[in-house]
Amino acid sequence: MTKAAPDPRAVREASLDELERLGLPLPPPGFPLVWEPGDTIELRPTLDLEARAAILHVVVARCFGMPTELAMGWILGSHLVDLVTPPEWEFVIGAKGDHRSFVLHHDAVFALAWLLGLARHLDPTAPPEDRLMSQMPDLPAGETFGQWRSRSLMSPRDPVEAVVLLDLYYCLDWAFQEAQAAGAPLPGEIDSNAIGQRRWALEWAVVFRGPYHEQPAEWEEVDLSV
């Protein structure tokens, strides 16, 4: 579903108000907007969101002891191998890469679950919901990707709701890093790493169309440096 993007300046004002409410530092004047007036927005296809969430769920499971053979078998059996990125595949088959960074993907899964309507909130002060694991494929029981999709009541978020939260997380990513660098207290139970993972998922999932936007980035191409 393609929609007109909301006024980016009005959304940014609301994001800055939320940062103030949380007691976080505000970005400097001229901090970039995420989109421009007149842009249109949509979410990636639901199947793409589901596949990315499931793959990251398997990657996180590998971090916590899922055997290589089971992880590979699940991905191959679910016909998702073409959607696994090279770093993810190397980690799944040989535990190569930064183990800690893959553990952090739990918060990216949470954001994708929120986009799919499987999580009730994406509160930047709270960790993922306790019920998140039960909302994802039951890997120990051998639940396949298709079986998970059949039992789950996916209800993707409205693109406008998603893009408003993306702008907030764009600002939060900067604010959390600044606060941590300064040794200032954070407003809740999560840190800048979790905020960055959630932003990553939102940045990837929301597709912008307009004169200043390129083709949507692949998962590993999402630029979180700005």
**Mean of pLDDT over the chain:** 96
pLDDT > 90 in the chain, percent: 96
The total of other beta-carbon atoms located within 10 Å of residue 100's CB is 9
Token representation of residue 203: 């940045």
Pairing of strands 3-4, 206-209: unpaired
Longest dimension (CA), the chain: 52
Quickly list H helices, the chain.
Answer: 8-22, 46-63, 68-77, 86-94, 99-103, 105-115, 132-135, 145-151, 159-181, 192-205
pLDDT at position 186: 97
Residue 146 confidence (pLDDT) above 90: yes
pTM of the model: 0.97
